[in-house]
Amino acid sequence: MNTAATRELMDYDEVVERFDPVLGLEVHVELNTRTKMFCGCSTKFGAEPNTQVCPTCLGLPGSLPVVNRMAVESVIRIGLALSCSIAPWCRFARKNYFYPDMPKNFQISQYDEPIAVHGWLDVTLDDGSTVRIEIERAHMEEDTGKSLHVGGTTGRIHGADYSLLDYNRAGVPLIEIVTKPIVGTGARAPIVARAYVTALRDLLRALGVSDVRMDQGSLRCDTNVSLMPRGVVTFGTRTETKNVNSLRSVERAVRFEMTRQAGVLAAGEKVIQETRHFDESSGSTSPGRRKETAEDYRYFPEPDLPPIAPSPEWVEQLRATLPELPWQRRQRIQREWSLSGEELRDLVNAGALDLVAATVEAGAPSGEARSWWVSYLAQQANARGVPLDELPITPAQLARVIELVASGELSNTLARQVVDGVLAGEGSPDDVVAARGLAVVSDDSALIAAVDSALAAQPDVAEKIRGGKIAAAGAIVGAVMKATRGQADAKRVRELVLERCTS
């Protein structure tokens, strides 16, 4: 056990007072192509082990890899969406190593000729400020197999008796997106890291190139963190934290490493350059492989794969397929719905933007749709402890409720009861209206009878109204609404009360 690992963490406020953090984020994204990068095996998640393999992805003698065109198109589209330059010519490279997660004893990757370089992604933080994250490169490679370590106590490699390998994932197209060093974020470094991965995930989802499921490993993030004392401009020694499997963990892992490294440095010791593992339950990192010597992967151009040379025409064709990107969409929505920057941000932060947009898409006016999602439905989601998009009501159902209110068939009070019914699993809004008998009572004769009986029950109030005290009508309206279980149109009831008292 090295002593540095047991150093006390420094208080976060003190960390950012004394040090400037430098971040580097590596995101691996599995593409959602039907087949693997270099062979026709399925990429589907969750199959029985070693049932989606062939001689090529098992590295058997005599097999020959052939590049999946769809995967190349996807990475070019990713590169374009990140404002990268697309290399006019690039090669694959062999990365040689002996870890058994690749049956070939090498991984096909790209080394010094990545297909996309020098881009950026503008990331908006919760407070509305924007940080431009510079992208160093995006390159193509193949995912590795999955190891299961048997024996020992922790399920980790140390102490394991042997390992079991499933190569279904070996060869799945994988894109690695690497940022340039991110400096100057100070205390915001952890939230910048999280916001970047979130923005990248949203972008990849909009492009439709990946499932971007962090829980299933189709989006993975390694966080590189180093500290330099305030005023110093040379980077400190960095650590690379792996196994960061959720957006929240990205933020926690960066924050933890900052406090840990600061503790080490404050004790006059040196940060060790190493790979560390993030532990979800404790929110801490622990040392993994030491990087005492630079890895020697003996990269060389992959002889089995001819170079990729995307023509300008092909690149432009692919650019034309780019969908509306998340930030373009947000700008359009802000314009179309006449929102202030703050209102838009609230919608985004509440996770309501897509839901409101879908409700509008289903025919509802944006104001009503927005109001339902951010107030009443947000309260219901909060009460149930679920994210807004997991409430059992669809945007189309909500749009129908809004339509019923607009046509006068439901009052606002009744509309809430209909929504409650939908949330309780009673069916569609129309089902709930029918089953609960919730249509607004618009038959005047029924209302007049109710008004008359309310006036008769409160003769003193009736007398006041007849004497000109119109404000007293409220009591009668209230009584009628109660008698009709809220199903009457209060405005119409009021009109009738005044009519009956003056005629």
Partner 1 sequence: MPVISRDEVAHLARLARLAVTEAELDVFAGQLGVILGAVARISEVAADDIPPTSHAVPRSNVFRRDELRPGLEQQQALAGAPAAEEGRFRVPRILGEES
Q: Where do contacts with partner 1 occur on this chain (CB under 8 A)?
A: 33-35, 39-42, 48-55, 57-58, 60, 66-72, 89, 91, 96-101, 103, 144, 147-151, 157, 160-167, 275, 288-289, 296, 298, 300-301, 303, 305-310
- In the bound state with partner 1, the residue whose beta carbon lies nearer, of 113 and 409, is 113
As a three-state string, the secondary structure of 393-446 is CCHHHHHHHHHHHHCCCCCHHHHHHHHHHHHCCCCCHHHHHHHHCCCCECCHHH
Closest approach of partner 1 to the CB of residue 38, in Å? 9
Closest approach of partner 1 to the CB of residue 35, in Å? 5
Closest approach of partner 1 to the CB of residue 87, in Å? 12
d(CA 264, CA 307): 46
Place of tokens 């990849």: 204
d(CA 140, CA 41): 18
- In the bound state with partner 1, the residue whose beta carbon lies nearer, of 21 and 114, is 114
- In the bound state with partner 1, the residue whose beta carbon lies nearer, of 29 and 39, is 39
- Judge residue 357's burial from the number of C-beta atoms within 10 Å of its C-beta, 0-12 exposed, 13-18 middle, 19 or more buried: buried
Closest approach of partner 1 to the CB of residue 295, in Å? 10
- Coil/strand/helix, residue 362: coil
Amino acid sitting at position 422: V
Closest approach of partner 1 to the CB of residue 93, in Å? 9
d(CA 464, CA 460): 6
Closest approach of partner 1 to the CB of residue 162, in Å? 5
Closest approach of partner 1 to the CB of residue 161, in Å? 6
- In the bound state with partner 1, the residue whose beta carbon lies nearer, of 89 and 341, is 89
Q: Which among 58, 268, 299, 73 has a CA at the least distance from the CA of 175?
A: 73
Question: Chain centroid to CA 163: how far?
Answer: 33
Sign of CA dihedral 43, 49, 55, 60: positive
Closest approach of partner 1 to the CB of residue 76, in Å? 12
- In the bound state with partner 1, the residue whose beta carbon lies nearer, of 61 and 231, is 61
- In the bound state with partner 1, the residue whose beta carbon lies nearer, of 157 and 406, is 157
- In the bound state with partner 1, the residue whose beta carbon lies nearer, of 46 and 231, is 46
Our CA dihedral for 213, 377, 403, 335, rounded to 10 degrees, sits at: -60
- In the bound state with partner 1, the residue whose beta carbon lies nearer, of 13 and 161, is 161
Closest approach of partner 1 to the CB of residue 280, in Å? 18
Amino acid sitting at position 243: N
Tokens read off for 185: 């974020």
Sign of CA dihedral 466, 470, 475, 479: positive
- In the bound state with partner 1, the residue whose beta carbon lies nearer, of 301 and 323, is 301
Residue 359: half-sphere exposure toward Cβ, Cα within 13 Å:
29
d(CA 361, CA 369): 10
